[in-house]
Amino acid sequence: MRFKQLWSIMALADYGKFNVKQFMQSFTHNQMLNFNEEEQTKLMYLMQHDGLGTTRKIINGTFEVSIGKYKKNVPEDYWDKDGNYYDLCG
């Protein structure tokens, strides 16, 4: 399938639509049911890479990354000479 571009795109779109539907059904907040198309696209991207559970935590503001996991996933170029990580967000 990965050699057929259209099939890959359609599969990704179907998977994304399925994930957004699951995401929307997992919330009880009315506010969460009113995402516009651009916001749904962002949700699709997050869920494609991080899954439903992590996306839910990111939206709720409860997502945390341990320093050990950060160090395993962030190249050493982002660490200073003392072994401290650069704050990439601030």
- pLDDT tens figures, 25-82: 776 655 555 778 888 788 888 888 888 888 888 877 888 877 777 677 777 777 777 7
Q: How confident is the model at residue 18 (pLDDT cuts 50, 70, 90)?
A: confident
Q: Say if residue 62 is exposed, middle or buried (CB neighbours under 10 Å; 0-12, 13-18, 19+).
A: exposed
